[in-house]
């Protein structure tokens, strides 16, 4: 009985001693673990959240020109890279059939005109024949109506004749000739492309998911592949009201400044439409330099007397690459694992490799 009583007296203190010993062992072991880390610079930057899309430089005024009729191409008066002026005749197809039709309607109109003129010339005789001036006036109005109808029919045929010709819709340059003389042109099939090369835009296609984040007048930054060191400032000029199944999205046009560079149609690049931005430069870190605990609260790893320590931080604007850090990190040494796969825990000894 005495042995059991003695064991009971020492059991509880021994249990607590083992726990305390285990905790001490754990933290001593933890502090003895060395982990490789890199110091990172907390820099002040202007942070932006954007919608990005690839695109191509195009002319603000360009058109694929086609005939509104079918026929053999008789003449193309221009070649690629040739400048044209508004109203200039560029090409035409064989109009012979339509010309003959228009001529027949012109002849019919002229006949009506001569009948009316003869009726008026013989006014007195016609008045006696018709039984008075009132009947004559009624018959004259009939002739005038017939002339008017014949004129309308003739003008309609003339307008159809214009379908056999292509004229320049504005001052510009011939970019592409799709057809050659002697080939058959079909209604609506492009024959020439004309563009105003002095006025360029950047065209992009955005997805449905991004449509609500883009608006007319929105600030845009463009990176052209031809000028890697330049950022071209611009703004959204137009947004379509419909989804284009051919392009697979909404075609947005962006007007931008050339920065004195030579900008050519067909140049490619990327546009960044700014959704949100800080007013000035703010304290920031790259998004993957910030960690999150089990409750999804953000923190950064810092060094304190050679040990790794968590420092909770408050985030501001989270941009495309950088996140605003509202917590003052002045004087703090912020670190991240030296490479992927390294596990860091609070209390580890840190070995800085940079």
- Can you tell me whether residue 103 is helix, strand or coil? helix
Residue 25's pLDDT is 46
Task: Tell me phi and psi for residue 130, to 5 degrees.
Answer: -90, -10
Q: Over the stretch 108-143, which tens digit does the pLDDT of each residue have?
A: 999 999 999 999 999 999 888 888 999 999 999 999
Q: Which two tokens stand for residue 284?
A: 């920031």
Q: Over the stretch 13-30, which tens digit does the pLDDT of each residue have?
A: 555 555 665 545 444 444
Among 160, 180, 273, 285, CA closest to 220: 273
Task: Tell me phi and psi for residue 63, to 5 degrees.
Answer: -155, 140
Mean pLDDT of 88-101: 91
* pLDDT-derived band at 269, boundaries 50, 70, 90: very high
Residue 184 has pLDDT above 90, yes or no: yes
Give the single-character DSSP code of 58. Answer: E
Residue 222 has pLDDT above 50, yes or no: yes
Write out the DSSP string of 220-239.
EEEEETT-TT--EEEEEEE-
Q: Which residues contact 43 (CB under 8 A, 6 or more apart)?
A: 283, 284
Q: Which domains, ranges and CATH numbers included, belong to the chain?
A: 51-63+197-277 (2.40.30.170), 64-177 (no CATH)
Rounded CA-CA distance 223/272 in Å is: 8
Strand partners, 156: none
Give the single-character DSSP code of 196. Answer: -
Residue 168 has pLDDT above 50, yes or no: yes
Mean pLDDT of 317-338: 95
H or E, element range at 299: strand 298-304
CA neighbours within 13 Å on the CB side: how many for 61? 12
Rounded CA-CA distance 51/320 in Å is: 9
Rounded CA-CA distance 273/206 in Å is: 11
Q: Which two tokens stand for residue 38?
A: 């890199």
Among 246, 269, 244, CA closest to 256: 269
Residue 30's pLDDT is 46
Residues 332 and 338 sit within 8 Å (Cβ to Cβ): no
* pLDDT-derived band at 61, boundaries 50, 70, 90: confident
Q: Which two tokens stand for residue 247?
A: 């392009």
Q: Which residues contact 303 (CB under 8 A, 6 or more apart)?
A: 37, 309, 333, 335, 350, 352
Residue 250's pLDDT is 95
Rounded CA-CA distance 64/175 in Å is: 10
């Amino acid at each position: 009985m005495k042995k059991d009583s003695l064991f009971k007296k020492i059991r509880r203190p021994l249990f607590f001693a083992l726990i305390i010993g285990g905790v001490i062992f754990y933290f001593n072991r933890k502090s003895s673990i060395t982990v490789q880390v890199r110091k990172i610079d907390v820099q002040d930057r202007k942070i932006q959240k954007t919608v990005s899309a690839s695109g191509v430089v195009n002319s603000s005024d360009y058109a694929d020109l086609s005939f509104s009729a079918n026929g053999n191409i008789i003449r193309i008066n221009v070649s690629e890279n040739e400048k044209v002026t508004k109203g200039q005749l560029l090409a035409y197809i064989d109009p012979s059939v339509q010309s003959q039709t228009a001529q027949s309607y012109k002849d019919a109109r002229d006949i009506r005109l001569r009948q009316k003129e003869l009726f008026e010339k013989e006014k007195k005789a016609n008045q006696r024949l018709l039984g008075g001036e009132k009947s004559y006036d009624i018959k004259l109005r009939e002739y005038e109506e017939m002339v008017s109808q014949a004129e309308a029919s003739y003008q309609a045929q003339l307008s159809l004749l214009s379908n056999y010709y292509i004229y320049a819709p504005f001052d510009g340059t011939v970019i592409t000739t799709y057809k050659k003389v002697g080939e058959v042109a079909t209604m609506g099939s492009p024959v020439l492309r004309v563009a105003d090369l002095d006025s360029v835009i950047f065209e992009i296609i955005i997805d449905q998911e991004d449509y609500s984040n883009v608006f007319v007048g929105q600030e845009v930054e463009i990176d052209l592949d031809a000028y890697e060191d330049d950022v071209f400032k611009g703004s959204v000029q137009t947004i379509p009201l419909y989804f284009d199944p051919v392009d697979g999205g909404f075609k947005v046009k962006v007007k931008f400044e050339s920065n004195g560079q030579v900008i050519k149609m067909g140049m490619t690049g990327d546009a960044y439409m700014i959704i949100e931005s800080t007013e000035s430069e703010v304290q920031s870190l790259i998004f993957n330099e910030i960690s999150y605990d089990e409750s999804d609260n953000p923190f950064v790893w810092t060094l304190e007397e050679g040990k790794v320590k968590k420092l909770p931080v408050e985030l501001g604007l989270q941009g495309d690459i950088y996140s605003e850090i509202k917590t003052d990190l002045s004087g703090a040494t912020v670190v991240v694992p030296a490479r992927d796969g390294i596990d860091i825990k609070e209390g580890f000894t840190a070995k800085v490799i940079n």
